Amino acid sequence: MTIFPIEIGIPNGYEPSNNFVPFSSISNLMDHFYFMVPLKNIAGNIILFVPLGFMLTLKFDRLNGLFEIVIVGLLSSTFIEITQLSLPIRAFDIDDIILNTLGTVIGFFVLKATKLIMVIQHY
C-alpha cells in the first residue's frame, strides 16, 4: 500500500506535500475536526511497524537489544519514506518515520513482555 497505493478517491491534480519538520503533521492532524483522521494516521503508522519489532528479535539472534531494534525500524521506515519522494501521489513525512520507529519499539517491548510472562508462569 505504501509503494503502490490504491488511487481510489484521489482527485485529478492532487499534489502531496512533503513534511521535513518533526511533529508538524502530527500537530496538524490533532486539529482535525473528525477524530478518526488522526487516529487512523497516527495509530496506523504505529501499528504497521509493531510486527517488525516483534519479529526481528524472534528471527535474528543478534537483534535482541533496544538500540538494534530502533536502528532497523528507523532505517526501514526511512527507506520507505525516501522511496515515496519519487512516487507521484506519495509524500515524504518525517512524522511517519517517528511513528513507524515507535511501532517497532512497541513490538520489541511486547515480545520482551510476552517472554517475561512466560518465564514467570513457568516458575
Predicted local distance difference test score (pLDDT) of residue 1: 56
Number of domains within the chain: 1
- What's the pLDDT tens digit per position in 36-75? 888 999 999 999 999 999 999 899 989 889 999 999 999 9
Secondary structure of 68-120 in the HEC alphabet? HHHHHHHHHHHHHHHHHHCCCCCCCEHHHHHHHHHHHHHHHHHHHHHHHHHHH
Let me know if residue 121 belongs to a domain: yes
Let me know if residue 12 belongs to a domain: no
Predicted local distance difference test score (pLDDT) of residue 38: 86
Tell me, rounded to whole angstroms, the distance of Cα 90 from its chain centroid: 15
Q: Is 117 exposed, middle or buried (0-12, 13-18, 19+ CB in 10 A)?
A: exposed
Q: Which domain holds residue 92?
A: 48-61+71-123
- What's the pLDDT tens digit per position in 64-112? 899 999 999 999 999 999 999 988 888 999 999 999 999 999 999 999 9
Predicted local distance difference test score (pLDDT) of residue 113: 95
Radius of gyration of the chain (CA): 17
Let me know if residue 90 belongs to a domain: yes
pTM of the model: 0.86
Let me know if residue 55 belongs to a domain: yes
> Which of 64, 79, 80 lies closest to 115, judged by CA?
64
Let me know if residue 14 belongs to a domain: no
> What's the grid cell of residue 52?
517488525
Give me the mean pLDDT over the 18-37 stretch: 91
> Which of 23, 31, 46 lies closest to 109, judged by CA?
46
Let me know if residue 91 belongs to a domain: yes
Q: How would residue 123 be classed by pLDDT, with cut points 50, 70 and 90?
A: confident
Predicted local distance difference test score (pLDDT) of residue 7: 59
All residues at 6 or more sequence positions from 27 whose CB lies less than 8 Å from its CB, including other chains? none
3-state secondary structure of 39: helix
